[in-house]
Amino acid sequence: MLKRILIALPLVFAGWIATLALVMRLGGEAPAAFVPFPPNDFVAALPADIAITGRSPISLTVRSDTTDLPATLYAAGAWLVLPAGLEACIPNFLREDV
């Protein structure tokens, strides 16, 4: 039983990430985008109308009014673009603006 769970968990996680990426790429509306492990020259390749709203050593969160933000980020060198800033992602009791 434990072996099945240990096999299933990574598969569920990979499926969840793939679903998020696919929804974002096919036009899912999200107020921002999360780019894990951006290339070294990624920030320099971003157009001027994309604002960086969060940064860590392993990720970048950006926001833009661009009509096709995921395509722009992929063109700049992102290997994966996920939705960010969705209201349901952060429980209301953790948000300061509520």
pLDDT tens digits for 31-81? 889 999 999 999 999 998 999 999 998 999 999 888 788 989 999 999 999
Residues sharing a CB contact under 8 Å with residue 75, sequence separation 6 or more, in sequence order: none
The domains of the chain are located at: 2-94
Query: For 69-90, how does the pLDDT look when each residue is reduced to its tens digit (9 = 90+)?
Result: 898 999 999 999 998 876 555 5
Backbone angles phi, psi at 42, to 5 degrees: -65, -50
pTM of the entire predicted model: 0.74
